[in-house]
Amino acid sequence: MISKLALATLLPALAAALPCVQFDASRNLYAFGGEQDVSLGASSAWSSPSPKPLSSEGRPPWNGNYSQCLLSQNSNAMYVLGADSSDASWSKQVTTGAPDVLQNSRSASILDHNTNVIYTVGPANMVSLDFGAVTNTAAGALAWQVVGTPQIASQNYRVTAAAASNHINYYGVPGTPAGSTNMFVVHYSYWQPQPAAYTAVGGRNFPAQSGQAVSLLTPNSTLPPYQNLFVPDDFSGAYIVTHYTADWSWNDTRSAPMAVNLINSTQALPAPTAQDKEASYACSDTDCVQIDTQGNIYYINAVGKDYTIAPGATWQKLDYTLKPYVAPTTSSGPNALSAPTGTGNAAASSGASQASATPAGNSGAQSTHRGGVLGAMLAVAALAIASIA
């Protein structure tokens, strides 16, 4: 079971939604943003899938250009950026101080494992949003905070970020060489002055391009992710990038869970079958999944328990396609938003107070919570929440 949260941003509306995939903390796979949202179960079931529809009453219209699904592994909650809220089955967490443009890609934001803080780089600043232990709604508004002026600027960069060992790798930053990333140290709020270089193990290194990047889960949910899947825009391959830094010392590797030669390394996998730059990706600790913009789903048994890539790994197509959802639109223009069905007011949400009292992992999380309609509000984002059994 995963508690699902959706964060709305002011993004241009799409006629068709961009779907996403994500795992829950138990490694069950979900697909969102089609005509229906579905649970696809554990990887052992993917060879003969039996999709289980989820309640979609009042769900977000998935009308953003860059929808992104982020898993809070400790809370077993999914935060969705670039979605919206409607009038039923979703309660809404209002946030304040969001930049006019929150993200410019489907890999622009990361959720820090230890602190449950979202970080994203905008045109002028890096900003963060602290969810703490929020898996349903919190009382009052959550405020976006300016972290500072980033070492990188998103005006000329399609942000491609993924977290590893409480650091953020930024792939394809203009001027950064192949096989290297710009790196932000989360817990010290610090940009490393020089790019981090990764050594290719048994193959080629990743190119100096933007693309898509996501973190792999760790077998122990108390530990942060140590590996990224990076898929560059040229689809020259897919790359497992491993980073480890001890909390107490940058050069102490004694507690590393992987072999020393894998620390700060790149391992190459075949390129995804669907060469779709707007596809969505998600990874467990062993498997990586892609859903393209047409709802086709592909998966690869990418990594073994020892953090090495699986020999002979190839992408397989799931025998199920998430039928695209076409959202109704009522306006046009660069900031138009699809109109959700129904009417309501967030302050009058009948389930908001009930939702805030339901912690993650509690059996009460199986109930649904009602929320109100979100309009196009400048510099304001809203968080919509539902629970999925």
CB distance 110 to 389 below 8 Å: no
CB distance 133 to 116 below 8 Å: yes
- Residue-level pLDDT at 57: 67
Q: Which helix (H) or strand (E) holds 242?
A: strand 238-242
Q: 359 pLDDT exceeds 60?
A: no
> Phi/psi at 3 (nearest 5 deg)?
-85, 125
| Alpha-carbon 214 to chain mean position | 7
Q: Is this prediction's pTM over 0.85? A: no
Q: In which domain, by residue range, is 335 found?
A: 2-388
Give how many domains the chain has, as a whole number.
1
CA–CA gap between residue 268 and residue 376 (Å, rounded): 42
> What percentage of the chain has pLDDT greater than the value 70?
73
- Residue-level pLDDT at 199: 97
- What 3-state class would DSSP assign to 373? coil
Lowest mean pLDDT across 65-74, 149-158, 210-219, 321-330 = 321-330
CATH code where residue 321 lies: 2.130.10
Q: 11 pLDDT exceeds 50?
A: no
